[in-house]
Amino acid sequence: MLTEFRMPTYADHEAATSYQFWRLLQRTRRVDLVHVLPGAEGTRTGERSRFLLQLANDLLPQNPGMVLEDLTAVTSPPIPVAAPKQEVVADKAPEFDFNSRANQSSALDSELDEVMPSGHELMNDLVLEKDHGMLDALREVLIKGLSPTGLNEYLNCSLKFYFNRIARFREAEEVEEALGVDGFGTVVHEVLEELFAPFQRSGKPLTAAGIPDLIKAAPGLVAKALRKEEDDRHARADEGLNHVLGQVATQLVRRYFESLLTQPNALPLQIQSIEEGLQATIYVALPSGEKLPVSLIGFADRVDQLPDGRLRVVDYKTGLVHAHELKLQKRNETPAEAAERLIREDTSAADKVRQLWLYRYMLEQGGRPAADAAIISLRNIPAGPMSADMSFLTADGQSFMARSEELLSQLVNRILNPTEAIRKTDDLEKCQYCPYRGICAR
């Protein structure tokens, strides 16, 4: 059928690839082609590419000036991950010298032996020491502005933090057919922002009478936000999975507004701000005696004014969140232990509480103390706004601000601690959707 209608076939694709390969080689002085040996242990490679065979058997005899070196590099077997920790500094990592001949692989092995622990212990092969350059870069990030997301990123994987915020490795802009989780979240956030904006601007509370209009406007706003997001990501407009995501977003928004009609004390809803940019500065005492001005920044999805005049900062989540996750202090735990988990734990529950904690801190430093910080999970709408319990911060009589500053200072000192290197996370699950998996070989 393709041939009949003169459309490109598999053979045409092959021809185009072949043309590009040979065209790239033209006028080059040196080319390194790397491949895994056919049948190499643990791999599923087939035979050598026909291009390599053509090079050796066709191009070489025709070109007296061409030198072909066929080299083999050997690496040690894979290292088990769960073995005891031993850190190897990145700048000591072995370099593969592809100029060496195959029979020099024993030299390469001994080079590897120098940096690899014997007995196949864990080789944490990407550890960056906090030298002067690194500490300066970290200080710069802290002074310029650290968001709750950034802080969570550091605690979850300091190497990811380094790639993202210091080295600034960016993902190549690619055509994504489907919007993905973050795109979906952006769409829902934008729609809620647009729907609430008139109430925030006018200062009038949202009442039951206003809900039907919001529900009616939701599909149109979802379609608009979806189109914008699809354009930004070069995704396929309202097709396939994206169409389904649009339908789901509309349904979530509709169900959220319907729930306001039945939840006790949800209405009238007085909205003080939406997508408000927050900022705060704390002066952290470093061991050198210096007071480092650390800037905290972030965007609060919504700040509500409760009927008694107190404020509530709200964060929307399009994923499933349960109320118990937001209780960091477990049974039989002291407030001090819970506080320690607030600045150390790298679970998603701790991430959420930390985020709300920092929003509360920033609001209060700006003179608007929030009595409550809550998450609205659009996958758990019946739960309503779920408050993060932060009573452990003030349990020993300290003020919320003083205790928060104390804990933030500990966190900043940890980030700037030269003995705590930048390294990969031990939790492989965190690597699953990390854009740097390729670099980390995870």
Q: Does 139 bind ligand SF4 (CB under 6 A)?
A: no
Q: How far is 109 from 419, CA to CA, in rounded Å?
A: 30
* Closer Cβ to ligand SF4, 71 or 167, answer by number: 167
Distance CA 231, CA 245 (A): 15
**Cα–Cα dist 393/59, whole Å:** 73
CA dist 428 → 44, 157, 300, 399 (Å): 23, 10, 30, 38
Name the one residue in this structure whose structure tokens are 């070196």: 69
Residue 81 beta carbon to ligand SF4: minimum distance, rounded to whole angstroms: 11
Is residue 430 part of the contact set for ligand SF4 (CB under 6 A)? Answer: yes
Q: Decide if residue 159 touches ligand SF4 (CB under 6 A).
A: yes
Question: Mask: binding to ligand SF4, 99-138, rule CB under 6 A, as x and -?
Answer: ----------------------------------------
Strands (E), 59-171: 87-89, 124-127
Least spacing, CB of residue 65 vs ligand SF4, in Å: 44
Residue 431 within binding range of ligand SF4, rule CB under 6 A: yes
Instruction: Single out the residue of 146, 157, 271, 296 in contact with ligand SF4 (rule: CB under 6 A).
Output: 157
Q: Which residues pair with 297 in a beta bridge?
A: 279
Site residues (CB under 6 A) for ligand SF4, limited to 320-359: none
Q: Which residues contact 313 (CB under 8 A, 6 or more apart)?
A: 300, 302, 303, 356, 359, 360, 363, 370, 372, 373, 374
Q: Which stretch binds ligand SF4 (CB under 6 A): 326-334, 353-361, 389-397, 425-433?
A: 425-433
Distance CA 289, CA 283 (A): 11
Q: Which stretch binds ligand SF4 (CB under 6 A): 42-50, 79-87, 257-265, 426-434?
A: 426-434
184, 257, 361, 436: residue in contact with ligand SF4 (rule CB under 6 A): 436
Binding test (CB under 6 A) with ligand SF4, winner from 138, 221, 226, 434:
434
Nearer to ligand SF4, 154 or 184 (CB): 154
**Window of 167-175, 217-225, 381-389, 422-430 that interacts with ligand SF4 by CB under 6 A:** 422-430
State the number of binding residues for ligand SF4 (CB under 6 A). 13
The least CB distance from residue 2 to ligand SF4, in Å, is 40
Cα separation of 199 and 203, whole Å?
6
Question: Considering only residues 352-391, where is the footprint of ligand SF4 by CB under 6 A?
Answer: none
For ligand SF4, the closer of residues 157 and 376 by Cβ is 157
**H helix or E strand, kind and range, residue 283:** strand 270-285
Buried-exposed string 368-386: b where 16+ CB fall within 10 A, e elsewhere: bebebbbbbbbebbebbbb
Q: What beta strand segments (E) does 191-239 contain?
A: none
Q: Can the peptide bond before residue 84 be classed as cis, meaning omega within 30 degrees of 0?
A: no
Q: Residues 160-179: x/- map of binding to ligand SF4 (CB under 6 A)?
A: x--x----------------
What is the DSSP secondary structure assignment for residue 296, as one 8-state letter? E
In whole angstroms, the minimum distance from the beta carbon of 158 to ligand SF4 comes to: 8
Q: Which window, 24-32, 93-101, 153-161, 379-387, contacts ligand SF4 (CB under 6 A)?
A: 153-161
Q: Which residues contact 215 (CB under 8 A, 6 or more apart)?
A: 254, 257, 258
For 100, phi and psi rounded to 5 degrees? -75, 150
Q: Where do the H-state alpha helices sit in 263-347?
A: 335-344
Binding segment for ligand SF4 among 96-104, 133-141, 400-408, 428-436 (CB under 6 A)? 428-436
Q: Is 366 left (phi over 0), alpha (psi -120 to 50) or beta?
A: alpha
Q: Which stretch binds ligand SF4 (CB under 6 A): 3-11, 139-147, 159-167, 185-193?
A: 159-167
With contacts defined by CB under 6 A, name the span among 48-56, 102-110, 245-253, 429-437 that binds ligand SF4.
Answer: 429-437
* Shortest Å distance, C-beta 85 to ligand SF4: 14
Give the sheet arrangement for strand 370-377, strand by strand.
270-285, 291-305, 311-317, 370-377, 386-387
Which residue, 163 or 359, is less far from ligand SF4 as judged by CB? 163
Taking the complex as a whole, how short is the minimal distance between the CB of residue 159 and ligand SF4, in angstroms? Answer: 4
Residue from 386, 387, 382, 388 nearest 263 by CA: 382
Which residues bind to ligand SF4, rule: CB under 6 A?
157, 159-160, 163, 424-425, 430-431, 434, 436-437, 440, 442
